[in-house]
Chain A
Amino acid sequence: MPNTAESQILAFVRSRYPQAEITGDQDIFSLGFVNSLFAMELVMFVEKTFEVTIPNEELRIDNFRTAGSMAELVGRLSEELAA
């Protein structure tokens, strides 16, 4: 898999739940992986890795449901940063 934002996010989620099989389009909420501790780790990981700040209004469940949706959020925030 190429080293895309989605693959990096997926690798982070897998590192936290090494025994789980997770794909980029799977809903990690419905799989029961997300608690407040993991949510915090996830936000910190995304902000640090992709050098973005996620504003409060973007901290919506739909932006974090899958690795793919998180990658889309990263892309959007990066574009705004570059603009």
Chain B
Amino acid sequence: MTIVTQAPVAQETSPVTDRASARAFVDTFIVPYAEAYDQAGYIPEELLDRMAEAGLWAPFLPEEVGGAGMDLVTLGEVHEEVGRGCSSVRSLLTVHTMVSWAVQRWGSAAQRQKWAPALAKGEVLGAFCLSEPGAGSDTSGITTTAVQSGTGWVINGGKKWITGGQRADLYLVFARTASSIGAFLVPRESPGVGVRPIDDMLGTRASMLAEVTFDDVRLDADALLGPSGFTAGMVLTGTLDLGRYSVAAGSVGIIQACLEASATYTSAREVGGSVLRDLPLIQAKLSDMVTDARAARLLLAEAGRLKDAGEASTIMATWVAKYFASTAAARHASEAVQIHGANGCSPDYPVARFYRDAKVMEIIEGSNEIQRITIAGQADREVTS
């Protein structure tokens, strides 16, 4: 295994409270090391600790549980900046955000008291366990079961492609109950939990993916999170919504990273006596990056504004933002590699990593095909006459 060395320990960590402080953190502690993370296939503990020191893990949680009460527009900006630096780190942040939000939104007072402070501080890292070998975007196909036993539950089954699964301390597991799909908080150390690392993925290679298995895992009654019955699916819907928001933010970050790398490269690289940026076909690519970065950022901000206002329309706004930003990220990462030529295919420039990471954004938190089906359902609602 390649060992990743991190920035000098003596370097001070400042709190991340907004875009500017997030950008400074990312430029200092993430950008210089992102290629190494990608090649090593993991994020070192030192960075995870620094993120905790900076208050990055769940700043949207209320102050009374140790969060900073950050609004979701700002959270989107912070996740964009992290995504600009490293999609693997942003992926870890996304799943931790999903678990933290689910506990805060759906947890009982006792569940919040038990988990929220540790999630806020990053002392407990969360992972979201939905996908299975035979069920990805099609959640109706999940086969992991949760059976009531006495006053508690017994979970059996297996989850796959679990971001952060190698490192997480707390899994939010979706399992089939007698009446619906329930959400369960499963500590990693529970007897019967197995973790198998998944390596050599195309993108987000350092996001410490794992296959997580549950073999007669016995849990207390308070492992069930949120309502039962017809609204149990809302825990999943709401949690995925926030995950989608974070992935959209990360995708905006990838577009911005492609733009910055391409602007720098085309200003220095000469072809036939001209710098690349003066060539019309290169200018066309750069202009589309500038435009789409702004458009995606605005869609994200609108989804965040609606979340902060508690508006139901945020769910569709987030679908739209994620769909637009992820497809634009994939398109512009491809163009960024094209602009860099053979250099872009090498590990000497970051755009090859952006290209691989961007493809993942079109698949996770609901594939773009599922997104388009859902967004198409909005068409009738948009008719104004």
Interface residues of A (CB under 8 A from B): 12, 15-16, 18-19, 29, 34-37, 39-45, 47-48, 56-57, 59-61, 64
Residues of A within 8 A of B268 (CB): none
Q: How far is the CB of B149 from chain A (nearest CB, A)?
A: 22
Q: How far is the CB of A26 from chain B (nearest CB, A)?
A: 17
Interface residues of B (CB under 8 A from A): 106, 108, 226-227, 229-231, 233-234, 236-238, 241, 309-315, 374, 380-381, 383
8 nearest A-B pairs in the assembled complex, by CB-CB distance: A36-B233, A44-B312, A41-B312, A59-B231, A59-B227, A48-B310, A36-B237, A56-B227
Judge whether B383 and A18 touch: CB under 8 Å.
yes
Known A-B contacts A44-B311, A45-B312, A47-B310; the reply to A39 vs B380 at CB < 8 A is no
Q: How far is the CB of A21 from chain B (nearest CB, A)?
A: 14
Which of A12, A35, A56, A60 sits near B226, CB closer than 8 Å?
A56
* CB nearest neighbor in A for B230: A61
Judge whether A41 and B315 touch: CB under 8 Å.
yes
Q: How far is the CB of B309 from chain A (nearest CB, A)?
A: 7
Q: How far is the CB of B337 from chain A (nearest CB, A)?
A: 36
* CB nearest neighbor in B for A46: B312
Main secondary structure of the interface of B (DSSP, over half): helix
Q: How far is the CB of A13 from chain B (nearest CB, A)?
A: 11
**A36-B233, A64-B230 known, 12 other contacts, Cβ within 8 Å:** A12-B312, A16-B381, A19-B380, A37-B374, A39-B233, A40-B241, A43-B234, A44-B310, A48-B309, A56-B226, A57-B227, A59-B234
The CA-CA distance from A36 to B130 in the complex, in Å, is 15
Judge whether A40 and B238 touch: CB under 8 Å.
yes
Q: How far is the CB of A56 from chain B (nearest CB, A)?
A: 4
Residues of B within 8 A of A15 (CB): 381
Residues of A within 8 A of B238 (CB): 40
Judge whether A43 and B231 touch: CB under 8 Å.
yes
Q: How far is the CB of A15 from chain B (nearest CB, A)?
A: 7
Known A-B contacts A56-B106, A61-B229; the reply to A40 vs B310 at CB < 8 A is no
Q: How far is the CB of B108 from chain A (nearest CB, A)?
A: 7
Residues of A within 8 A of B237 (CB): 36-37, 39-40
A and B contact pairs by CB, cutoff 8 A, 22 listed = A12-B312, A16-B381, A18-B380, A18-B381, A19-B380, A36-B234, A36-B237, A37-B237, A39-B233, A40-B237, A40-B238, A40-B312, A40-B315, A41-B315, A43-B234, A48-B312, A56-B226, A56-B227, A59-B229, A60-B231, A64-B230, A64-B231
